[in-house]
A and B are shown apart, each in its own frame.
Chain A
């Protein structure tokens, strides 16, 4: 294995990429526009959550509740009749429907413990699950304040002071930006190496390389470093100008350490790209395989929903995927400001996974060239 060959062949790959304008446009797009729109579109957990209220009480306390819901967290509540409630929920118009029963205030003050009904459209995923708690808290607070005028000294004087660390306002777009950067890194690195390899074989240029004094390891390493470099540069630019610049996401930790981790991820994903190309015979098969690989990588790596809530078996399987470790590492470094002393296990895991993928792909690649 000679470094010079690897270097020369890698330069060739870069020159080739430089002359494919369509691909360059797509790279730029996926690291700028795509990240920007995806993270700005991503709402806060509760953003204009559609709520409707059936006010059968029409009392001071019920109107107090109605006015407690306002944008941006909630849409201005629609005042509806009980009859309308079911129909509107069926049509998916409201996520929440609050039903304040008749004589609510009277019963409340009389200690008859009345019940407010909160209907949640549970098919609405995130909003339904976390929004329910919000609605409850808001209603309780309003009722509590109302009651404070009527009685005293019956509550336990304990306050819960909640503080969110690392992202005080729980700004989802911060998180979304990083998640999208990670998706772009994975998608691009796999496509650039994999599809380029299939194209090279279809055009017969890979065969030509083999009659020259270069070994498969050199060919593969040259693809890994050159395409990895492209994605790494794109990532750096995207992190500095789009994520930090345009989107104003504060980065707590060291960007250098993050990029170092990205380098390791790229080692693993570019190897994976080569592997997929050797498995797929044709471009259409590669395209399908790509979908099969990308979606689980994106969804199950912990970047979309928390890992600890997934079934144990999936957590275990996903430990073999480089993205899982990278998501952990990225969150620790970028949001929690963790240093190398904290994230070294993820670095180690990436090295091991990347190395294994590389060796495995190399073996397949040798056969592929036959």
Chain B
């Protein structure tokens, strides 16, 4: 990685930082950083995790808001939105994390294509560039493989393709090789070198935790604790500190207080290699997931007290092997034994002898250090009275005394890892299984950590099984296994492995083994073919991006649609779900109350009283239950909800009626627990009573009674049969088209936020409008498909006639789903976790749509806040249109009044979303 020939003197700075600071809450990530980064060279940012490297890079890339200080990139202030818009096509940014900016369900080709579109390239240009890039990176054999199924190294190469699609002048790579195997790592750097040979003016800024990589860069920035420790070429740094390598140089650059406790790790040789008892034993372990073999025929024996290292890239099967050893995963084939006992996932006893520290686990961030230790002690069933003492002991041993009441998130990574180890050790296990315990830990803390491991192994005879991808850590192990693609390539002591291959270092030996395993074709390497393949730098990069470019917008549309298609469960749930809901609720909600139970307390028991009762019992609304015996019985049965209506006929009813000299009172008790039902019952009973009276009057008084008689002709308009289905089905469509599209839309954005691919929106020329509307379109299309299904279902299955204009209904539906998806997108701008988004959407769609939008009670009769919501909520208006078009036979002209609010709602909501969406992380 020599500097490109012919540019010994760096021109002006590509990046200038003046007194830059950055805080996340109370944590200070960057503190007063001032720095000039030379252009046209390869600049390395070195230092452990959490010192502010990533923060610095995201500021330079324009992905994060500049909080304080001045950041100048490519000759302009990056805090200035106009400058960002103009320069972002000249910058490429690859964030930290394997495939963090890629879309796992999209194929290799589709991923690069998406980025091409974001930079407004036309089809021919994209095709040409993608072909060249894939060929250059050696990805051309599998353009159709989903990005999620690539190995770590391939993911990073793909990330690089995506970054290089637009010929950037400034390439920013954040830890591009962390977690990648040494061979892929070497290929990656060869690729970068080749690209730089071709584009000598390109500036590259790389953050890395591997000091050996940084050795080859042109210019280095050493960082610690949000500050710059030193800058200069690698040689300068070495000579300034008088150290032989960068690791040592970095340590000596650290402030005194951090360096004080640092000692070289010395692990004494193991004593007594005689008859050993075997702590961990694996025989032909194999793990298959479907037809994918994650671990293939792995065998090893680890004696008690040994430190055994497992070396390999991400995804090579290390973690799976460890899970099989702990019983987390049952092996497909083969056996694992701990202390001669076969691992049984259900055997709780074995777990008590094993301490496990997983890669992902970083303790319960909601518990303090002490609470974490206490919880684990209790779960491992330590004697309650012994727990405080044990916690004190662990705190002393792992040097945690000062931070016992802090939360893990507030602690530096190195201390957190120590705490994890303390937690894993709380029950004094005989075996420790550590999955990449030191990734991201600074060199000083790492050495301290290994010192503890050494003590545990040598003094306490604890067997340690540790995985890592740092070569210098592997060298500390007693024995190591090199693993690749599920297979163990070799197991031996580090020295023996180096000697066997005749290599200079363990890394070289590993690469040699990897090349042997992969075969000749890989060693030919993509880099060899590169020079001709890299996109020829055609003059100056693209002019300022257009303010609106449909290509960029449709890039999001197309990607969202692809993702939806690749997740058939989600699409099916969205489509079928609504139909199922409509079916269930359509049949379930019934406004014409019938089959009501009633009983009679008949104290008269004459023909006339029977006649009265018959009037009620004979109707289809009521079902007669056994007669009531007395008031106590009436009370009991009503309380139990057994009868909704009780009729009491007084003694002497028939006699008094026929004499006609005294008014008789018939009593009716209605169960008022459910007011709607009670209202209906009341209406029915009154009606029947009146009918009975008229009939009797005619019998008793003849025609004289007719005087004053009149009729009320009740006409139920739009639904003459008074069927609930006709009333409820058209109302269900607005409800369903609110809930589901809003939920899908809100999650489509929040998910990107949670998984990190939102960065692509931050650093590419895509505008907020293009981003939101682009994402919205596929969901609008899906919702319209949904709408078509619901209408078809209503008309053909439920037989609810569509009497009005289908065109008007469809137009309104289009406007409406535009508004509902916009509502989802608007909500997404202030939600950051998916849980909150789901909860919030459920709360903000279900309740207003059911209660305030006129589905059951007309909006005009609502009160207070509910009435206000009802008047502004778009569902109200679409509800009117849906009912108008279905039941009232209406068309455009009749419904114009309801179209206008719908027409306004969508643009207003999406406009608010655009205004509130942030184009940078903050």
Residues of A within 8 A of B (CB): 2, 4-5, 8-9, 11-12, 15-16, 18-19, 22-23, 26, 29-30, 34, 37-38, 40-50, 75, 89-92, 95, 104, 107-109, 111, 113-130, 132-134, 136-137, 139-140, 143-144, 147, 150-151, 153-168, 170-172, 174-175, 187, 191, 195-196, 199, 203-205, 207-208, 210-215, 281-292, 294-296, 298-300, 304-306, 308-311, 313-314, 318, 328, 331-332, 335-338, 342, 370
Picked from A48, A154, A281, A338, the residue with its CB within 8 Å of the CB of B640 is A338
Contacts of A140 in B (CB 8 A): 690, 712
Contacts of A204 in B (CB 8 A): 358-361
**Bound state CA distance, A370 and B330, in angstroms?**
8
Within 8 A of A (CB), among B825-857: 833-843, 846-847, 850-852, 855-857
Nearest opposing residue in chain A for B895, CB measure = A91
Stretch at the interface among B185-193, B194-202, B395-403, B861-869: B861-869
Q: When A122-B717, A207-B360, A283-B747 are in contact, do A42 and B680 touch as well, CB less than 8 Å?
A: no
**Bound state CA distance, A5 and B672, in angstroms?**
47
**Bound state CA distance, A49 and B593, in angstroms?**
20
Q: Is the CB of A159 within 8 A of B590?
A: no
Q: Is the CB of A291 within 8 A of B744?
A: no
Stretch at the interface among B68-76, B237-245, B347-355, B481-489: B347-355
B704 at the interface (CB under 8 A from A): yes
Q: Is the CB of A165 within 8 A of B638?
A: yes
B310 to chain A, nearest CB (A): 17
Over the window 568-592 of chain B, the binary record of Cβ atoms lying under 8 Å from chain A Cβ atoms (1 yes, 0 no) is 0110011001001100110111111
B668 at the interface (CB under 8 A from A): yes
Q: Is the CB of B683 within 8 A of A132?
A: yes
Over the window 371-402 of chain B, the binary record of Cβ atoms lying under 8 Å from chain A Cβ atoms (1 yes, 0 no) is 10001101111000000000000000000000
A323 to chain B, nearest CB (A): 13
B94 at the interface (CB under 8 A from A): no
Q: Is the CB of B351 within 8 A of A41?
A: no
Q: Is the CB of B361 within 8 A of A170?
A: no
Q: What are 6 A-B pairs with beta-carbon distances under 8 A?
A: A8-B378, A22-B836, A40-B866, A158-B696, A281-B569, A314-B584
Q: Is the CB of A50 within 8 A of B687?
A: no
Picked from B636, B660, B731, the residue with its CB within 8 Å of the CB of A157 is B660
Q: Is the CB of A308 within 8 A of B597?
A: yes
Contacts A121-B717, A305-B593 aside, 8 further interface pairs with beta carbons under 8 A come to A5-B379, A18-B366, A151-B708, A155-B705, A156-B700, A164-B671, A299-B588, A336-B638
**Bound state CA distance, A213 and B376, in angstroms?**
10
**Bound state CA distance, A5 and B384, in angstroms?**
13
B115 to chain A, nearest CB (A): 24
Q: Is the CB of A127 within 8 A of B858?
A: yes
B666 at the interface (CB under 8 A from A): yes
B341 at the interface (CB under 8 A from A): no
**Bound state CA distance, A47 and B679, in angstroms?**
13
Q: Is the CB of B843 within 8 A of A15?
A: no
Q: Is the CB of B581 within 8 A of A295?
A: yes
Q: Is the CB of A212 within 8 A of B376?
A: yes
Q: When A41-B866, A336-B641 are in contact, do A117 and B708 touch as well, CB less than 8 Å?
A: no
B595 at the interface (CB under 8 A from A): yes
Q: When A305-B590, A332-B641 are in contact, do A164 and B361 touch as well, CB less than 8 Å?
A: no
Stretch at the interface among B720-728, B784-792, B900-908: B720-728
**Bound state CA distance, A150 and B709, in angstroms?**
13
**Bound state CA distance, A159 and B291, in angstroms?**
81
Nearest opposing residue in chain A for B677, CB measure = A306
Q: Is the CB of B376 within 8 A of A34?
A: no
Contacts of B679 in A (CB 8 A): 45, 130, 170
Q: Is the CB of B864 within 8 A of A41?
A: yes
Contacts of A174 in B (CB 8 A): 675
Q: Is the CB of A175 within 8 A of B674?
A: yes
Q: Which of A42, A75, A114 has the most CB of B within 10 A?
A: A42
Contacts of B595 in A (CB 8 A): 308-309
Contacts of A128 in B (CB 8 A): 716, 727
B880 at the interface (CB under 8 A from A): yes
**Bound state CA distance, A54 and B861, in angstroms?**
22
Q: When A22-B836, A167-B675, A208-B361 are in contact, do A156 and B693 touch as well, CB less than 8 Å?
A: yes
Q: When A157-B662, A213-B348 are in contact, do A203 and B747 touch as well, CB less than 8 Å?
A: no
Contacts of A75 in B (CB 8 A): 860
**Bound state CA distance, A320 and B590, in angstroms?**
20
**Bound state CA distance, A60 and B349, in angstroms?**
94
Q: Is the CB of A335 within 8 A of B672?
A: yes
Q: Is the CB of B716 within 8 A of A120?
A: yes
Q: When A109-B708, A292-B581 are in contact, do A43 and B727 touch as well, CB less than 8 Å?
A: no
A91 to chain B, nearest CB (A): 6
Nearest opposing residue in chain A for B367, CB measure = A15
Q: Is the CB of B663 within 8 A of A157?
A: yes
B548 at the interface (CB under 8 A from A): no
Picked from B349, B640, B711, B722, the residue with its CB within 8 Å of the CB of A122 is B722
Q: Is the CB of A342 within 8 A of B640?
A: yes
Q: Is the CB of B713 within 8 A of A118?
A: yes
Q: When A37-B865, A130-B676, A337-B639 are in contact, do A199 and B835 touch as well, CB less than 8 Å?
A: yes
Contacts of A46 in B (CB 8 A): 861
B327 to chain A, nearest CB (A): 8
Q: When A26-B840, A281-B569, A286-B838 are in contact, do A310 and B669 touch as well, CB less than 8 Å?
A: no
B547 at the interface (CB under 8 A from A): no
**Bound state CA distance, A38 and B856, in angstroms?**
13
Picked from A117, A147, A203, A214, the residue with its CB within 8 Å of the CB of B715 is A117
Q: When A170-B672, A207-B360 are in contact, do A47 and B861 touch as well, CB less than 8 Å?
A: yes
B719 at the interface (CB under 8 A from A): yes
Contacts of B843 in A (CB 8 A): 26, 29-30, 34, 187
B517 at the interface (CB under 8 A from A): no
**Bound state CA distance, A250 and B313, in angstroms?**
67
B771 at the interface (CB under 8 A from A): no
Nearest opposing residue in chain B for A5, CB measure = B379
Nearest opposing residue in chain A for B832, CB measure = A22
Over the window 415-432 of chain B, the binary record of Cβ atoms lying under 8 Å from chain A Cβ atoms (1 yes, 0 no) is 000000000000000000
Q: Is the CB of A306 within 8 A of B674?
A: yes
**Bound state CA distance, A165 and B585, in angstroms?**
30
Picked from A129, A212, A283, A290, the residue with its CB within 8 Å of the CB of B351 is A212
Q: Is the CB of A299 within 8 A of B700?
A: no
Q: Is the CB of B714 within 8 A of A208?
A: no
Contacts of B376 in A (CB 8 A): 212
Stretch at the interface among B146-154, B166-174, B254-262, B882-890: B882-890
B641 to chain A, nearest CB (A): 5
B39 at the interface (CB under 8 A from A): no
B283 at the interface (CB under 8 A from A): no
**Bound state CA distance, A48 and B861, in angstroms?**
5
Q: Which of B639, B867, B897 has the most CB of A within 10 A?
A: B639
Q: Is the CB of B593 within 8 A of A306?
A: yes
Q: Is the CB of B894 within 8 A of A296?
A: no
Contacts of A310 in B (CB 8 A): 587-590
**Bound state CA distance, A285 and B834, in angstroms?**
11
Contacts of A144 in B (CB 8 A): 708
B376 to chain A, nearest CB (A): 7
**Bound state CA distance, A306 and B670, in angstroms?**
14
Q: When A34-B843, A283-B751 are in contact, do A292 and B638 touch as well, CB less than 8 Å?
A: no
Picked from B636, B683, B838, the residue with its CB within 8 Å of the CB of A133 is B683
**Bound state CA distance, A137 and B897, in angstroms?**
34
